[in-house]
Amino acid sequence: MNKLNRRKFLRNSTLAAAGTLMLPSFLRGTTRREMLAEGEKILVVLQLSGGNDSLNTVVPFGNDLYYQNRPQIGIQPDNVEKLDDFSGFHPSMTAMADLFREGELSIVQGVGYPNPDRSHFRSMDIWHTASGSEEYLSTGWLGRYLDQNTASDAGAHQAIEMGGGLSLAMKGVSRSGLAVEDPTRLYQLTRDPLLSRLSAHASDHDRVAYLYKTLADTQQSAAYLYEKAETAVTEGDYPQNPLAKQMNKVAGLIAAGVPTRVYYLNLPGFDTHVNQPNAQQRLLGMLSESLGAFARDLKKKGVWDRTAVMVFSEFGRRVKENGSRGTDHGTAGNVFLAGGGLKRPGFVGQRPDLSDLDKGDLKFRIDFREVYADLLRSWLGVREDAVIGAGFEGLGLV
């Protein structure tokens, strides 16, 4: 990748341009960063896997075409959690509606990319790697963010994925995020006597050294996180569901001041070809309640202002319902941004135009990389063009 050749140059200019108090490595007393620095912000990425139906999430109840296309599964105006005279949320999203009314939620509409791919794998890869739809990249946008902006000794926990496996989004060339199902479990795993002994080894061979370093990083991060998780306060009032549980842990880590800049979470189940109303009721309810609890918790802990949660899905779904009370793979959808420091709360971008479709699909108006650009440049404080390429001005979301 040509973009990565500018890494060395960018590291210096990043520090100058960011204007944050990130100390360059040669100025630090310790080699490991222990705490978030003043002014450093946190990004939580929440992936809805399967292709969430955007039209039944942000319902255009003021548009007849919506009801004409969805006689069975269209959500009636009386049931919509209204946000304005034209659109509103799915009825199970009351907590997110509250966030919207408090100015702590941006709803970015019509987000997609040119030449959309309707395959789960491809489209998710495109979102993960921030590639064009004809390109195949093997590193993720957050992985490349780590490659270019974190010191090699900063610890593997600079970016944490809550789950058993690491998403492509979090894989870089020389740095990757850390996948943690549970800090306690990970710590136990790394306590294996053989692994403990191994992590003290070194090697002359480049790739062998890479493995030893990955192992040592994992060991150290596991121990660090375990210690922090033990002292983290997780008493917030969260609903009983797996997503909320993970967000509870994340909140605990944020409040404990761990220097993790990025958290990645995944909520599956959105591929609603059949019986969409039941699935969305359950899943959107889970999403909204968990996000609401997370916001309340972070506010109480005084860290809501420095946290932004981006919620996305790999595509939206077709405008017309299918014959199974569901919808099929589509194109453009919504991206939500929640947080205490948003610059453009409310609706961003035009409402979906149901009269101007591309073979039955919504046309995208905003490239998802514009959202990434904002988050990289203005939230994480780094050069976004080195991570996702040039030409994305951003939307001023943060």
Residue 114 within binding range of other proteins, rule CB under 8 A: no
CA distance 164 to 92: 29
CA distance 175 to 171: 7
Which is closer to other proteins, CB of 218 or CB of 276? Answer: 218
Judged by CB under 8 A, which of 153, 266, 324, 389 binds other proteins?
324
Residue 193 within binding range of other proteins, rule CB under 8 A: yes
User: Of 11-19, 199-207, 253-261, 302-310, which segment contacts other proteins by CB under 8 A?
Assistant: 199-207
Whether the CB-CB separation of 252 and 224 falls below 8 Å is answered with no
Residue 274 within binding range of other proteins, rule CB under 8 A: yes
Which is closer to other proteins, CB of 64 or CB of 135? Answer: 135
Judged by CB under 8 A, which of 3, 65, 212, 299 binds other proteins?
212
Residue 171 within binding range of other proteins, rule CB under 8 A: yes
Count of positions on this chain that bind other proteins (CB under 8 A) = 48
CB of 357 to other proteins, least distance (A): 20
Residue 181 within binding range of other proteins, rule CB under 8 A: yes
Residue 191 within binding range of other proteins, rule CB under 8 A: yes
User: Of 107-115, 198-206, 261-269, 385-393, which segment contacts other proteins by CB under 8 A?
Assistant: 198-206
Which is closer to other proteins, CB of 108 or CB of 215? Answer: 215
Residue 176 within binding range of other proteins, rule CB under 8 A: yes
CB of 340 to other proteins, least distance (A): 30
CB of 122 to other proteins, least distance (A): 6
Whether the CB-CB separation of 301 and 181 falls below 8 Å is answered with no
Q: Which two tokens stand for residue 26?
A: 């040669």
Interface ranges with other proteins (CB under 8 A): 121-122, 125, 134, 136, 138, 156, 164-166, 171, 173-174, 176-179, 181-182, 184-186, 188-195, 197-198, 200-201, 203, 205, 207-208, 210-212, 214-215, 217-218, 221, 274, 324
